[in-house]
Amino acid sequence: MAEFFEMGGHGFFIWTSYAVTALVLLHGYLAPVLRRKNLIRQLGSPDRGPGTK
């Protein structure tokens, strides 16, 4: 198991690559999902639209 994570001494490069890609892609998927939910909430209350608190 430890051998698998070491990747013949290249573990750092491989796992950093995969982790960065996973985080970037996950964020890219979730951001618009959350934005749409916020947008619907915002449009539902016209007197508390953008620019007002």
Binding site for other proteins (CB under 8 A): 4, 7-10, 13-14, 16-18, 20-21, 24-25, 27-29, 31-33, 35-36, 39-40, 43-44
Work out how close the CB of 53 gets to other proteins at its nearest, in angstroms, rounded to a whole number: 20
Work out how close the CB of 8 gets to other proteins at its nearest, in angstroms, rounded to a whole number: 4
Going from the C-alpha of 31 to that of each of 15, 20, 27, 28, 38, the distances in angstroms are 24, 16, 6, 6, 11
- Which residue has 């959350």 as its token pair? 34
Work out how close the CB of 23 gets to other proteins at its nearest, in angstroms, rounded to a whole number: 10
- CA 37-43-44 angle, to 5 degrees, is 90
